[in-house]
Amino acid sequence: MNAASDGCAWVTGASSGIGRAVALRLARDGWTVAASARGEDALTELAAAAEATPGRIVPVLCDVADRQQVEKAVEGLVSDHGGVALAVLNAGLYLPDRADELDLDAFGKQVNLNLMGTVGCVGALMPHWLETGKGHLAVVSSVAGYRGLPGSLAYGATKAALINFCEGLRFDFDRLGRKVQVVNPGFVKTPLTDKNNFPMPFLMDVDKAADRLVDGLAGSGFEITFPRRFTYGLKLLRSLPYRLYFPLVARATGK
């Protein structure tokens, strides 16, 4: 993990949930955190919440689904803060869906934000990282990307794509001497999960989740996942043949 002296930390999707908690944890660790989101009021409140920390939070209005805004944001971070040492790409959207009520616009929004927004951020960062010889990337995906789940057609597909994307990046980042990690949380209590109307096993407090994530950034593991009692169980499900997987998940979810 790069040090706070190497540049700022950029956290996308920082107005609420895991992104907000991670930004505050990094500020407590002494980082200058560029916190991105689309909501100015939420970012202003977040910056104020970090005033007593050793670091600071700088609001950066940016819609990561807008390539021009992303490129402008990265240019500003490089010129104003000496570069981006760490990027935690967390911005994401979950809209429940099902085959008999498939909304293509909602599906596209999730693809554009969750997947293409993340890819666009990486694309904007790479020239800077190649020039400076530094760069630590953490992409927040989800255990929903491990295998298909009911009610998660678009969201699960984008998260599976992000996991695969990071796996592919790992080969290039190793060759270039950079660090990439994928973050796969289970259920974390956030405004996103507050919309769920189904049981969420091992629901985790958001501040504890942020601590697990940031602590994992200092480690050597490619994947950061929590809470492990839940996510490791899903890893076992991932290894099941389809003839066992589908009926088991259908019974567990009541679908």
Which tokens is 101 given? 């009520």
Q: Which residue has the tokens 């910056």?
A: 47
Q: How far apart are CA 240 and CA 167, in angstroms?
A: 21
Residue 146 catalytic?
A: no
Torsion of Cα atoms, 223 then 249 then 96 then 145, to 10°: 20
Q: How far apart are CA 90 and CA 37, in angstroms?
A: 10
Residue tagged active-site, from 146, 155, 232, 245: 155
Residue positions annotated with a catalytic role? 155
